[in-house]
Amino acid sequence: MAGYILRRLVSTIAVMAVVGIFIFLLLRLAPGDPAAMIAGKEATAEMIAGIREQLGLNAPLPVQFARWAGDMLRGDFGTSIFAGRPVLELIAQRLEPTVSLALMTMLLSVTVGVSFGILAAWRAGRLVDRLLTAFSALGYSVPVFVIGYFLIYLFAIKTHWLPVQGYVPIDAGLGHWFVHLILPTVTLSLGYIAFIARVTRTSMLEVLSEDYMRTAAAKGASSYAMLFHHALKNAGIPILTVIGISFAYLIGGVVLTETVFNIPGIGRLVVDAINNRDYPIIQSVIILTSGLYVLINLAIDLAYTLVDPRVRY
Amino acid sequence: MTISRREVLKAGVATGTVLAIPSVLRAQKAPTDARTVRMVKVGGLTVFDPVVTTANITQDHATAIYDTLFSLDSKFVPQPQMVGKWGVSDDKKTYTFELRDGLGWHDGRPVTAADCVASIRRSFEAGGPGQLMMAQGADISKKDDKTFTIALREPLGVLTLMLSQYRYIMREKDADRPATEAVTTNIGSGPFRFNQSLAKPGASFAYDRNEKYVPRSEPSDGLAGAKIVNVDRVVWNNIGDQQTALAALHAGEIDYFEGPPPDLFADIESDPNLALEVLDKSGQDYFLRMNCLQKPFDSVKARQAVLHLVDQEAFLSVISPDPKYSSTVNSFFGSGNPVSNDENTGWFKKGGDPEKAKQLFAEAGYAGEKVVILDPTDWREADNASQLLAVALQKIGVNAEVAPSDWGGLVARRNKKGPVEDGGWSIFITSESDYSRGDPITDSTLSMNGEKGWYGWPKSDEYEALRAKWANVDTAERKALARKMQQIAWNLAGTVLLGRVISPIARRMTLTGLIGMPEVVPMWNMRKASA
């Protein structure tokens, strides 16, 4: 197992290096110029040229790459062209909102999604199954911004129960932090609940039709024991995979939700950086996210051993 | 080991108390909601130095934290601001300025003449109108701690006007660097202090009242006079989604929403707690710029064809559909300026004449060359106008196509002077303040100095000769100059105006006292009443 983990960790570095080279070239070859963005709408070509020189953007591409790669190897992720602050500091500033939203969303999605999936599988073909399937289809197909605006209208503007927008750091008070996350969490969770519920239902139905489940029923096992002790554990691998992928996706940035609820997270940081051509931020976030994806996948693979003793590394 | 319920409760209370400590401390320091104004501005503040950018939001930031030697009053006349006494020599070539008492940096040190000298030098080196002064070999020198002089080879009548237009005074150690290297310290001597500890780039910025600021004794008038701050803190929230910003305004989470889109006006007007207010009465002039170096617009006839083709009312209907907030504009110098005029406008004024446009394209020898319109899809108004222009050109047989990109892609591509086959361009659409079109010295888009000038590169030596006289003549003479320049400008037709749009801001009724000036929203003078 230790050897397996070590190999996967080494591969993470390789993945991050490949992603780094790819994103560096992609950004330089794409149209756009940070100097022009800094100088503004009415700037003259002379002003822009001066800023390009100052930022070192006139240097040949290999020289720019060598400088950047050297800095990265020393653990220096660079400084934002616009904010003039270290990129890692800006990422750290945005990490808490994104992680808070991702964790809350996963908590709600997994709890409700798995429960709905089990319930639908247990009552397959009946009214409750049809209702939950319809809910899944709805949650899956209605865009996040529609749900978001609807909830804002209902709970923030009409009733004033919850705030419209913004994020309050956890150290500013647990209550404020929680209240500001309710609407974005519910909005974001609906799609994930639907996704997890569907996968859970399918996976559970497959297991429930196995011979050993019939045997258990014949032996008089209770519904609770059949669903939670026998079926859920055996249906666990696809569910775990879905949860892991969902979590990785959430950390990667949920731009729409962050935009609708004005949450200053990683997603918005990257989108703003792309609009401004703030290369150091884009490169760093994408490299770190790729590494995180690999690590989350590793965590999922390791978690398989918990639900399926046949899995060995 | 077993844990009792009481122990769990105790641990919970202890954790809650620890978590609550920072919020309690913060609550002791933070101003109350009634003394805090929350604003949503157009775009995000990404560049902090007003010398390296022309972005309006950076001018707003600079207007809050820096001070200027002179400021424009509501009639756009420069009035002393940091300057106490000043005078000009009999030959009108040497200006002497003495700083008024009580000026201090946010770091506690006094403002000196050396700071002013370094700031003026850097600001004028940045290009634009400042180069006019530097070309005259201006000698900017400190005489003593509070006095400095500007000595010129020739008189320059617009000097105090130039010193009033966004020439912010920075500390000598900040200003002593190239004009292309951005200052990020954000330490000024203005009525607001930039709160570095609350700065979250891309998310929010906070400005605190500078308690040590000594305002002038004259009443507030435009950007001039006393800058009296009536609130403790102003927070700029960068809410990227306009629908969310409006919802936050309805709910009272923000007090001010800049540039709401026209389709939200009715919603704002329906809420008795909200108001639409026009602060910048001059508005924005939308215009298209043609590449005068490449086919087909290297031909005057082809450019004049576009002048005939454009129907401003049609363009305004896709840019700003509410006629209450838009109007046509035919003067090269904008519609609301003292030098705006109707010289040489009769022949194209009506616009929307495709037959005439078709005829002129034919006379220009147009042979089906591709016309590429740069289309910034992340700027709704310019995107709509670009699409409409493409259709209008296609209808008269021009091989026009839009090149969609974001604004970042457009500003990079518009720098290319080559043909469209080599990644060049034919037309792009943008906007600028109607007010700034009233001054061809400070507005670089009004230059016609060919490849040294602004994108599109129209060239007229005759026009440039007239422009050079602008700096040293009075208003009556400028009006006469403007007519002559406009005669040339419309014949040359490098620019075609698409109409003027006024953008009201939306605010809570509890926020009052906002100062209305073009291009900048100062934050002093405003008051917030309890809801």
Q: Assign residue A270 the CATH number of its domain.
A: 1.10.3720.10
Distance from CA of B516 to the nearest CA of A (A): 22
Phi, psi at B310, each rounded to 5°: -70, 125
* Torsion sign (Cα): A186, A192, A197, A200: negative
CB pairs under 8 A between A and B: 163
Q: Domain B5-13+28-43+191-279+507-528 adopts which CATH fold?
A: D-Maltodextrin-Binding Protein; domain 2 (3.40.190)
State CA A112 to chain mean position distance.
18
* For residues A154-182, average pLDDT: 94
Residue B348's pLDDT is 83
Distance from CA of B432 to the nearest CA of A (A): 8
Integer Cα distance of B59 and B37 in angstroms = 19
Q: In the listed set A39, A73, A107, which residue is the last one of a domain according to the structure?
A: A73
Asked if residue A81 belongs to a domain, the reply is: no
- Inter-chain residue contact B251 with A45, CB threshold 8 Å: no
Supply the range of the domain harboring residue A32: 2-73
Per CATH, the homologous superfamily of domain B66-175 is: Dipeptide-binding Protein; Domain 1 (3.90.76.10)
* The domains spanning B66-175 and B284-501 adopt the same CATH topology: no
Angle at B508 between CA B502 and CA B513, to 5 degrees: 70
Integer Cα distance of A202 and A235 in angstroms = 9
- How does DSSP assign B58-81, residue by residue? HHHHHHHH-EESEEE-TTS-EEES
Q: In the listed set A73, A100, A120, which residue is the last one of a domain according to the structure?
A: A73
The single-letter DSSP state of residue A229 is I
Asked if residue A83 belongs to a domain, the reply is: no
Asked if residue A312 belongs to a domain, the reply is: no
- Inter-chain residue contact B204 with A149, CB threshold 8 Å: no
The per-residue pLDDT for range B166-190, each reduced to its tens digit, is 789 999 999 999 988 889 899 999 9
Phi, psi at B36, each rounded to 5°: -120, 130
Flag whether residue A115 sits within 8 Å of chain B, measured between CB atoms: no
* For residues A108-122, average pLDDT: 94
Integer Cα distance of B194 and B382 in angstroms = 33
Q: Which of B202, B239, B247 sits opposite A157 (nearest CB)?
A: B247
Asked if residue A79 belongs to a domain, the reply is: no
pLDDT band at A179 (very low <50, low <70, confident <90, very high): very high
Long-range pairs, B263-266, Cβ under 8 A, ≥24:
B263/B321, B264/B506, B265/B322, B265/B325, B265/B504
**B464 Cβ neighbours under 8 A, 6+ residues apart:** B447, B448, B449
- How does DSSP assign B119-183, residue by residue? HHHHHHHTSTTHHHHHHTT-EEEEEETTEEEEE-SS--TTHHHHHHSS-EE--HHHHSS-TTSPP
Q: Tell which of B25, B46, B51 to mutate to test the A interface (max A CBs under 10 Å).
A: B46
Asked if residue A133 belongs to a domain, the reply is: yes
Identify whether residues A64 and A96 lie together within a single domain: no
Please name the residue ranges forming H helices in A235-265.
236-252, 255-260
Integer Cα distance of B242 and B237 in angstroms = 12
Identify whether residues A171 and A290 lie together within a single domain: yes
User: Which residues in chain A have Cβ-Cβ distances shorter than 8 Å to B201?
Assistant: 80, 82-83, 85, 90, 93
pLDDT band at A11 (very low <50, low <70, confident <90, very high): confident
Q: Tell which of B17, B23, B271, B442 to mutate to test the A interface (max A CBs under 10 Å).
A: B23
Residue B127's pLDDT is 66
Q: Is the pTM of this model over 0.90?
A: no
User: Which residues in chain B have Cβ-Cβ distances shorter than 8 Å to A280?
Assistant: none
Nearest chain A residue to B410 by CA: give it: A32
**Identity (one letter) of the amino acid at A118?**
I
**How many domains does chain A divide into?**
2
- With CA atoms as reference, report the closest residue to A199 among A229, A251, A235: A235
- With CA atoms as reference, report the closest residue to B188 among B69, B101, B62: B62
Question: What tokens appear for B377 in the block?
Answer: 């899809």
Angle at B33 between CA B29 and CA B39, to 5 degrees: 110
Question: What tokens appear for B517 in the block?
Answer: 């000036």
**A247 Cβ neighbours under 8 A, 6+ residues apart:** A102, A106, A296
- Inter-chain residue contact A41 with B247, CB threshold 8 Å: no
For B74, counting Cβ atoms within 10 Å of its Cβ (0-12 exposed, 13-18 middle, 19+ buried), the class is middle
Identify whether residues A121 and A259 lie together within a single domain: yes
- Inter-chain residue contact A39 with B53, CB threshold 8 Å: yes
- Inter-chain residue contact B202 with A269, CB threshold 8 Å: yes
Identify whether residues A15 and A42 lie together within a single domain: yes
- With CA atoms as reference, report the closest residue to A252 among A310, A297, A190, A221: A297
Question: What tokens appear for B133 in the block?
Answer: 């002064």
Question: What tokens appear for B171 in the block?
Answer: 């500390």
pLDDT band at A188 (very low <50, low <70, confident <90, very high): very high
Question: Do B515 and B296 form a contact (C-beta atoms < 8 A)?
Answer: no
Identify whether residues A56 and A103 lie together within a single domain: no
B454-463 residues labelled b (16+ CB within 10 A) or e (exposed) = bbbbbbbeeb
Three-class DSSP category at B104? strand
- Inter-chain residue contact B202 with A84, CB threshold 8 Å: no
Q: Which CATH number fits domain B284-501: 3.40.50.11540, 3.50.7.10, 3.20.20.70, 3.10.105.10?
A: 3.10.105.10
Low-confidence ranges of chain B (pLDDT < 50): 1-5, 8-9, 11-13, 15-28
* For residues A156-160, average pLDDT: 93
Question: What tokens appear for B515 in the block?
Answer: 């100062």
**B414 Cβ neighbours under 8 A, 6+ residues apart:** B374, B425, B428, B455
Q: Within 10 Å of residue B204's Cβ, how many Cβ atoms? A: 20
The per-residue pLDDT for range A271-307, each reduced to its tens digit, is 889 888 899 999 999 999 888 888 888 888 888 887 7
More reliable by pLDDT, B8 or A176: A176
Identify whether residues A185 and A271 lie together within a single domain: yes
Identify whether residues A104 and A180 lie together within a single domain: yes
In this structure, of A4-18, A91-105, B393-407, B515-529, the range with the lowest mean pLDDT score is: A4-18
Asked if residue A230 belongs to a domain, the reply is: yes
Q: Which of B47, B247, B378 sits opposite A164 (nearest CB)?
A: B247
Identify whether residues A94 and A68 lie together within a single domain: no
Identify whether residues A17 and A100 lie together within a single domain: no
Identify whether residues A50 and A149 lie together within a single domain: no
Cis peptide before B261 (omega within 30 of 0): no
Integer Cα distance of B493 and B481 in angstroms = 18
Integer Cα distance of A217 and A225 in angstroms = 10
Question: Do B275 and B509 form a contact (C-beta atoms < 8 A)?
Answer: yes
Identify whether residues A273 and A134 lie together within a single domain: yes
Identify whether residues A156 and A254 lie together within a single domain: yes
Flag whether residue A179 sits within 8 Å of chain B, measured between CB atoms: no
Strand partners, B374: B403, B428
Q: How many helices (H) and strands (E) does chain A have?
A: 15, 0
Interface of B with A in 244-263 (CB under 8 A): 244, 247-248, 250-251, 253
Asked if residue A148 belongs to a domain, the reply is: yes
Q: In the listed set A73, A105, A122, which residue is the last one of a domain according to the structure?
A: A73
Flag whether residue A265 sits within 8 Å of chain B, measured between CB atoms: no
Distance from CA of B129 to the nearest CA of A (A): 12
Asked if residue A85 belongs to a domain, the reply is: no
Question: Do B501 and B385 form a contact (C-beta atoms < 8 A)?
Answer: no
Domain boundaries, chain B: 5-13+28-43+191-279+507-528, 66-175, 284-501
> What is the number of residues in chain B?
531
- Inter-chain residue contact A37 with B408, CB threshold 8 Å: yes
